Every structure is written in structure tokens, then in C-alpha cells.
Structure 1
Amino acid sequence: MRTSSKQNAFLMLADGTLFEGIAFGHIGTALGEVVFNTGMTGYQEVLTDPSYSGQLVSFTYPELGNTGVNPEDQEAASPQVKGVIARCVSDTPSSWRCKDSLQDWLRFHDVVGICDLDTRALVKHLREAGAMNGAISNDGSSSKEILQLLRAAPPMEGLNLAQKVTTKSSYKWNSVCNIEFDRRLIMEKTEPYQVVAVDFGIKRSILERLVAHGCAVTVVPANSALKEVLREKPEGVFLSNGPGDPAAVTQGISLAKELIQQSNLPVFGICLGHQILGIAIGGSTFKLPYGHRGLNHPCGTSGRVEITSQNHGFALDADSLPKSLVSITHLNLNDRTVAAIAFRDRPIFGVQYHPEASPGPHDADHHFSRFVALMAERR
């Protein structure tokens, strides 16, 4: 980062490991779970993804901010991360789509950052020790004070962060991405499929994909009751992605149990929504050592592979899933964790990864078509 007035900053991990660097973005102190993302592109989508709520995100790609920021690439109205960790940050962005620099954008939204930090050493440490709480401080606080705050902070396990990021009231969504591929995919329906999306931290790009596949979407809060969902007369229900521990989202799990009992109502879950479906039938989740956060995770079975985008710190325990009720349709081929499930006698399925993120670029888009096909069969 090239700047005339450098201000020192540090990253303190809960195990006492200290990394020094230079401040950028907002000046202050931010506490959260320290995780890393291996993607080479898409930093603005990452920073605005509600699934990253409560986290300090380190980017393994060494250069950040080259293309600046713009309104079209946001997954939410503002950044959702607690803090940003980078090796180098460009203060001279170059892109015809750029509306602001990353530095100024983070400063405007009060997001704390640290750069000129050895992100390779940090990621190697997290791969060995696991994701853990940490704090970025660039406001002159002492490392001793920050370590005391860290040791009093709750771990990610048990945190229901979906209740923090969900919408406060229902709303309609009917727009698609301006990219020609998305506009070309819009299905010419005289009557769109009515879909209720339960917002545990939903990304805008998911809503755009649903619309592109012919759905009229009503987004409802995470704590919605079954009667509130059914009041919209849905032909299908979508359970969204989101942050935190899925086992702590008790109202969402209760809703999923009741939706499953509807027997003939198509339900599609992505990421946290997928995990909630598994928990609702008696399965359990566990925390991954350092999570899956990147753009090139291979998933599949039976010789078919999808290159997928992933962002999650928890996963379904395969042995806990009742095989009489669901089948595991996809595995993460890096570590054999559950990547997708399908109910045997219900029009219900879930995927752990993000088919809307298109790293393949369109390997996994068929999951949206599948959801629509299930609704079409029941018209």
C-alpha cells in the first residue's frame, strides 16, 4: 500500500500470536473469527456477503483493491465483515467499472483493515491451529489489552448470527443481474413460480438467479413461522445461506421441520439452509478446522465434478444423517465432507456450496433449474 502517512497496526490471535502491519480503512479495533479466502477475484463480493458476518477475512491472493469497488458487485448494501487482512492494498484502482477505492469505501463503512502483513504465514498458522478469534487494532490500543478482550469473546460455536443479518420485514425481489448471460436465461413464463426465500443472510446474486429462472420471490425474516410462509401461497421455499453456527438457528430449524412435513412442497437450501435441512431430520453439524472459503472446490459423485464456490465453517456429519430419509448426492472431493443431499420421498434438496457464484462458470447452475422443475411438476 502506497501512502504518505503510514499508521502501525497489529493482528492479535486468541492463542497469543501477533502479526504486525500497516493500518488501512477505518481506524479502530475489530474482534471476530479470523478466516481466510483463497479466491483470486471477487473481494467485494466476499466483503459484502452476509455469511462473513462476525469474521475478520484474510485474502491469500496478495494484491487487493486493484479494481476498486462498484455498486453492482455487492451481495448486500454494505460490507458485512468485521475486518480485512491483506498483504498489499492498491490505492490507485484501475477499472472502467470502479466508483471508489477499496480504502475509501472501507473507511466510509467503518471497516477496520490491516495490510503489509505476512498473510502466507498467517494462513499457514490457521491451517495448523485452526480458525480462531482475533482482533485487528490500529488505534493505539496495547496488545495486552486486546488479548484480554479476545479471551473474553465467545467462540463461533453456538452463535446465532442469522438473527443479526436477516431482514427485519418481508419484501419482494424481481430483478436480475445485468450480465447478458443472466438476462438470456430468464424463462418466458406467463405466470412466474411463487417462491418464499427465508433470509438467514441471503446474497443478492442468489435472488437474481431465482428470478432469472422464472421465480417471483418474497423474502421473509429468519424467525418466520410456518403460517407466515404459507400465507404467501408459495410453490416452493428457499432456505438461504448465512453466518454463524447452524445448530444455533433454532427457529429456522423448527420451520424446516414443519416444511418437511408438508411433504409435497419443494424446498431448496444453500449453505446454512442446506445444513438446517440436515439438522431438521436429526443430523448434526461439526466445525471444520479452518473452513472452506474459495472458488475452486471440486464437488460431485459418480464421475461428475462441479467446480464450486464455497464459504462455510461448519459441515453436516455424514454419519448422523438418516440414510432412510436422505441420500448424499455430492461430496467435497478435497476432504469428502457432505456437499449436497436429497430427500428420498420429498421434493427437497440442499447444496453446501454456492451455485449462484459461477466459478465453473456454470457448472452448478442446474440446481436452480432443478428447483424450478420440482415446482413445475406440481402445478
Structure 2
Amino acid sequence: MDLLLFLKQSANVSVGSRSPPVAITPTAQAQDIRQSVSLPLQIFFSFAMITILLVALSGNVVVCLMVYQRSAMRSAINILLASLAFADMMLAILNMPFALVTVVTTNWIFGTLFCRVSAMLFWLFVMEGVAVLLIISIDRFLIIVQKQDKLSPQRAKCLIVVTWGLSFIISFPLSVGFPPLDTPPRAPQCVFGYSTEPGYHAYVLILMLAFFFIPFLVMLYTFMGILNTIRHNAIRIHSHPDGMCLSQASKLGLLSLQRPFQMNIDMSFKTRAFTTILILFSVFTVCWAPFTAYSLVTIFSDDFYHKNSFFQISTWLLWLCYLKSALNPLIYYWRIKKFRDACLDLMPKYFKFLPQLPGNTKRRIQPSAVYVCGEHRSVV
């Protein structure tokens, strides 16, 4: 009995002396994040985000104003580009400033409710931009490959309403807490974290399919078809340098009947719009593919999500995502002459260094017409 009593007391002493588990508080978590992000890197992130914010806001505001104020700019493609610019502008206004504050403080200070709302707005604007690129890519495919010009300004407006509605439906569950997001987050803004719930995984997978993978595959297919058509056209032009298409040219009003329509016309003029969309697609892929892979790894890997460097990785990838919103208006100015001329017209007189060009130019022929030549409607 004495031996049993002694063993029992020894067990109680050992259990009582065991230290309780230490809980990781938000303050301790923030200190770990501060240690993982050095001050020079924090200054660089802040400077980069401020620059991106200003360029994205000013550039996309100019694009929206040009399409709104000028009737000559309200073609179907320009209306879609204005919707894309509006989504990028709202992303700059409603998401970038709060991410900037979080980078500076290394802590989310805006509360749980706004965490969910900001995540919903982030995906709403991002998905709308992707949907616009998808519509424009399909339109270029129909024009160049199928020789069909079905996208009118009225249809473009209807498609914009539909895409905004679908984007809102897909992103709205985030604002009501499904799936739940950690607060404070381990990233500059509320992003998906690690979870073992099948519903959480299903939602993120559906979102990534609708936002990146399906649009990427569809746009890749359209661009491959367009490039294949352009390659065949180039071969035909070199094979028949003296080919004529008088009947079709006279119908389009491009040339008089006395002057032959040469097939070796400037191909860069006909494919310039396609090249612009291809550049936008390339920028979208480079900026968003890393973030997509990062989101998928985060929800499945606990070790990756709880790394001390997770905040730094998230900041780099979000900086790259926001960069797309700033690059889009610069691409418009570089590639689209109407936008460039209209932008120069909007500038004050003391900022104008180049001569003005007539701004009220209108589309004289259908886009699909310049790709059609001959009795068999062969694509040029």
C-alpha cells in the first residue's frame, strides 16, 4: 500500500509540474511577421504599391472618361475595354489602399467584416476583368477565323451586365463567411488559408476554374486558331503576290475598280487588334498564374500556410497581381491609336508636345470585312 501511494503521489506531482501549452496570440503572430519582413523590403513593397496604385487609378480613369465622353470611341471592343478599366479602377480604390496599410503595419486592422467584404470585392473585380478578356478573345476568333462580326455595342453592353452578375454570384459567398477567412490574415489582405473542410476546397477549386483555368484554356485555343489562320494567310500572300480581289474591294469601298486590290497588303494593320489582345492575355497569365498556384497550395498545405515567410510571399504575389491593373492602360496607350489621340486631346495644352490628330474618327467597315477577299470569302 505504501508503495502504491508513493507512485500515485509521484504521478500527481509530475502532472502538476507540466507546463501548459503556449497559445499563439495575434500579437505574437504579428511580431513573427515583422521579423520575416525586413525594413528595406517593407519600404520597397510600400513604394511599389503606391506607384501601382497611382498608375492604375489615373490610367484607368482616363480610359473610362474617353469612352464615356466620345461617341466615336463607343465601339463594342472599346466598351468592353472600358468595363475592364472600370474593374481595374475599382480594384485600385477598394483593395490596394488597405493592402498597403497592412504591408506597413504587418497586421490587418480593419476588422472581420471588412476582411470578408474586401475578399469579395477583390474576386468580383478580378473575375470581371478576366471575363472581358475572354469575350474579346472569342470576338477576335470569330472575326479572323470564322469571318463573322457578331459583337455590336448593344450586345457588348448585355454581355457586360451578364459578366458582372455572374462574377457577383460567384464571389458573394465570401462576404457572408463562406468559406471562412482567418482574421487577422497572414497576408497583406484577406486570402484563402489552410483548411481540411471539403466544402472549403470545393469552393476554392470552382473559383480557380472559373477565374483562371477555363478562361486560360479557351483564350489559348482562340489564339492558336488565330495564329494558324494568320500563318496560312501569309503563305497565300507569298504564293500569290499578284492576286486580285476587285469585286470584294469595290463592295467594301476600299479601292476603286480601276486599281487592283493586291493581296500583299499590310498584315500588321489587320492583326494589330489581335496582337493587342494577345499582349493583354500574356500579361494576365504572367501576373495571375503564380497567385493561382499559391492559392491552391495554401488551402492544401498546412506547412506552407504557417511558414514565417508566408506574408512575404503573399506580398510579392499580390504586388504582381496588382501590376496588371497598372499595365493595362499603358498597353492601350501604346497599341491603340484612337486611345492615344483621345488621351492627348484630354491633356491640358501646356502638357501637349505632339500635334493633335482628328479625334472623331469612326469605323467605316466591319472588322470582319478586312479579313475577307474573293468569291470564296478567303481570309486575308
**TM-score bracket for the superposition, by shorter chain length:** under 0.3
Q: TM-score, with normalisation over the residues of structure 1?
A: 0.27
Please state which structure has a larger fraction of its residues in helix.
2
| More relative contact order, 1 or 2 (CA 8 Å, 6+ apart) | 2
Could you tell me the TM-score, scaled by structure 2's length? 0.27
* Larger Cα-atom Rg: 2
